[in-house]
Structure 1
Amino acid sequence: MRDDLVVAGIDLSGVVARLAAAAPAADAAASFPREGVRAVHEAGLLEWAVAARYGGRELPLGDLARLAAGLGRGDPSVALISLMTLFAHRQQAIGNFWPDTLYRRVLAEGGRGPVLLNAARGEPELGSPARGGLPRTRARRTGRGWSISGTKRFVTGCEGLSYILVWASTDETPQRVGTFVVPGGAPGIRIVENWRSLGLRASGSHDVVFDEVEIDRDDVIGLTPADIAGQDNRAHAAITLVVTALYLGVAEAAREAFLAFAEDRVSANLGYPLARTERFIALAGEIDLLVSGARQIILGALDHAADTPDTLLRARLLAGRQIKQAVQLAVGALGNPGLSRDTALERHFRDVQSVLVHAPQEDTVIALLGRGAFAAVTDTSRPDRLPAA
């Protein structure tokens, strides 16, 4: 039993092995990872963030990150799809935002198969909500409840979602903004299969079009006035750090692939494995320093500073940069074999490129930290000295 694959007292090694076995085929076909999702569901992992008051484990953030790293080691696409569901459950655990009847219905459906949830927020015109703005997607009042129309981008796992949590603006005066709970199979939903990313090919983060999709009046979360509905990037710092942990798992898998190659490869002119050469010993040490250091950064921040957003934002960038550097180092050391589709390292290299792509993006975080640094030493009576956010 590996200690880093034991989360909340549960050994994940069997689940991770199932994910790793199915991942290459799903990646090659860029197809929805049904086998991996099935494995996660059968292990009960999709409900690990459900609140204790609903009979769930209500895992703390540090353990969610450990879970993310384990799943990411097997298949980061499955890890990302799973995290979106876990985050939705965590939102209910900490804030009780869902209508209770609706949420209990969602939990009950989990007994019949995987119930996948994801928030659909990005839009073609808006881009990422992390950069400001309100959704163009509209929720129109009807006799039954609401009719949803609009287009959402990068809806991870959309082909298998049980419910899509659609961020939309109402047609009311004054306007409100909220999250509308739309069944994944509702009439009027169309998936535009345009996810052609370098990595996480099996995540199926396609565009989704909603054309007058009808939902009940009460199937909505957190309606607020439009003038206070912007995204608070600091408030999401812990969640984005947990997402970074899934890429830690990718880097750990890449480290294992590098070490296995070095152990197995016997150069004709040496007569012994590359793992016995000083160069590869030093490379293994550098990679371990970066990967293990990233694990310490992520878990240390979440375990001990989960209520300090700027600490979490710094941890995300530091760990993310180390994760990318470690995998780049492994691929560069192997040369052509590292970029061959015959090795797992090539897939890990592609997948890890997305580590700092998730909102808020790297430049947004750097700007937040920079403004905070200036604010700490700037006379508060001279706010004009700071550039506008």
Structure 2
Amino acid sequence: MTGIAAPAPVFTAPDLSDEALAAATAEIAATAAEFDASGELPWPGLRAAHRAGLLTAAVGRQFGGPGAGPLDVVRILAAIGEGDASVGLLAANLLLTHAAQAAHPSWPAAAYEDLLRRSADGPALANAVRAEPELGAPARGGLPRTRATRTAGGWVLNGHKAYATGGAGLAYHVVWAVADEPGGDPVHPRVGHVIVPGDRPGITWLDTWNHLGLRASNTHDVVYRDVEVPADAFVEIPRGADGVYRDPAAATGPGGFGHAALYLGVARAARSAFAAFARERVPAALGRPIAQTERIQAVAGEIDLQIVQAETLLFGTLRRLEAGETAILPQLSAIKVAIGRSVVAATQAAVAALGNPGLSRHHPLERHLRDALCVRVHPPQEDAVLLASGRRVLGV
């Protein structure tokens, strides 16, 4: 019959046992090197994550999803990141979108229902598109040049964004913009996100992504020219109690460890690659695998120490938050930075110990190091975190 809406999809909870996550990691990893080399979107890895139910795990129960909490989300992202960091980044952006919608529903109902319907059939990506060529990262302050202009029937979006992860593969863009509307305050305009379907006319992609790491993430520039969206597509970001707008990404919140988790997965992959090489490498002068030498054993211990430290910080922090411990809230950004430092230290130790093989594109360690270094770009960045922490400690 026509005129009857299709029932909303129901997403069953994925198997998050260690064995099931390890199987998903292995399947995702099988094509990671190929897509790192080509720079194309890693659809095979995304489809593997989708089949395992990992991409929809954070869909809220009110929307027919499993409603996975922060602990399960970071376990999922660590497993995906261990397989392929680019798939991990795309998955992190999507899962955090679903988690935010579950906690504070703000999307237009029709748009989110459409995203869920697409998600029932395959990977349907969504991401916040926020940075701009002139402004840089919004967490540094300032307002976007991108404008949503009010019309009689909705909004018209115009602007140029940078580092829009997902590229043309995005089903939905969540575009950071300023409202240009009748009666608006020209000094303190409304700021928000515009929910834009990826196939809307007026969207042009610029293939600018030529990065050290995360090469398959398609983090290109995108231009919006007179993109029309309905009236409910603009979702305002609330101001503080003092009436001042502050970007939410300027500090890490309780749900802000998804990106850190995927890079923890990268460090785990580096540890595995290092161990495999050490067991297989038999120099003629040594006559036995280098894994049997104390030097390599000590390096393996250092790598493991850094990963244990990152895991303890990540999972321990989330368990403290889960228990209702609020005293840790001001330290979340510093904890995120510390996790990133451990991730980089673990991968650098592995590469440094192996010399040329560790830097060769014939060996996965080179890719893991390139991907791990990208942990530093996610806001809030280290210098801003240290400054804020120092001011808090000193009472300045």
Answer whether contact 2:129 2:164 (CA < 8 A) is retained.
yes
Query: Per the alignment, in what secondary structure is the counterpart of residue 127 of structure 2?
Result: strand
Answer whether contact 1:250 1:351 (CA < 8 A) is retained.
yes
Which residues of structure 2 form unaligned runs of 5+? 1-13
Query: Per the alignment, in what secondary structure is the counterpart of residue 65 of structure 2?
Result: coil
What is residue 339 of structure 2 aligned with on the other side?
319
Tell me how far 1:332 sits from its aligned partner.
Answer: 0.7
Tell me how far 1:296 sits from its aligned partner.
Answer: 1.2
345-354 vs 12-21, greater mean Cα deviation:
12-21
What is residue 132 of structure 2 aligned with on the other side?
123
TM-score by length of 2: 0.89
Answer whether contact 1:134 1:230 (CA < 8 A) is retained.
no
Q: Tell me which of 174, 180, 203 is aligned to 2:194.
A: 180
Once the two structures are superposed, the pairs formed by residues 56-95 of structure 1 within 5 Å of their partners are: 56-95=65-104
Write the distance in 2 (CA, Å) between the matches of 1:321 and 1:201: 21
What is residue 221 of structure 2 aligned with on the other side?
207
Aligned length: 372
Once the two structures are superposed, the pairs formed by residues 293-312 of structure 1 within 5 Å of their partners are: 293-305=309-321, 307=326, 308-312=328-332
Tell me how far 1:252 sits from its aligned partner.
Answer: 0.5
Write the distance in 2 (CA, Å) between the matches of 1:210 and 1:309: 37
When the two chains are superposed, the root-mean-square deviation of aligned CA atoms in Å is 1.9
Q: Tell me which of 231, 236, 259 is aligned to 1:217.
A: 231
Write the distance in 2 (CA, Å) between the matches of 1:164 and 1:100: 15
Write the distance in 1 (CA, Å) between the matches of 2:214 and 2:63: 32
Answer whether contact 1:337 1:343 (CA < 8 A) is retained.
yes
Distance 1:265 1:10, change over 3 A: closer
Q: Does 1:284 align with 2:300?
A: yes
Answer whether contact 2:107 2:195 (CA < 8 A) is retained.
no
Alignment identity in percent?
45
The CA deviation string for residues 265-286 of structure 1, in whole angstroms up to 9 with x for no partner, is 1121221111111111111111
Q: Tell me which of 344, 369, 384 is aligned to 1:349.
A: 369
What is residue 381 of structure 1 aligned with on the other side?
none
The CA deviation string for residues 101-132 of structure 1, in whole angstroms up to 9 with x for no partner, is 43223212222322110001111122111111
Q: Does 1:252 align with 2:268?
A: yes
Query: Per the alignment, in what secondary structure is the counterpart of residue 224 of structure 2?
Result: strand
Tell me how far 1:341 sits from its aligned partner.
Answer: 0.7
Tell me how far 1:239 sits from its aligned partner.
Answer: 4.1
Q: Tell me which of 361, 366, 371 is aligned to 2:391.
A: 371
Answer whether contact 1:235 1:309 (CA < 8 A) is retained.
no
Query: Per the alignment, in what secondary structure is the counterpart of residue 110 of structure 1?
Result: helix
Tell me how far 1:235 sits from its aligned partner.
Answer: 5.2
Write the distance in 1 (CA, Å) between the matches of 2:236 and 2:111: 14
Write the distance in 1 (CA, Å) between the matches of 2:170 and 2:329: 30
What is residue 45 of structure 1 aligned with on the other side?
54
The CA deviation string for residues 228-262 of structure 1, in whole angstroms up to 9 with x for no partner, is 33214465333442211111111100000111111
The one-letter code sitting in structure 1 at the alignment partner of 2:391 is: R
Distance 1:354 1:239, change over 3 A: farther
Answer whether contact 1:27 1:202 (CA < 8 A) is retained.
yes
Q: Does 1:270 align with 2:286?
A: yes
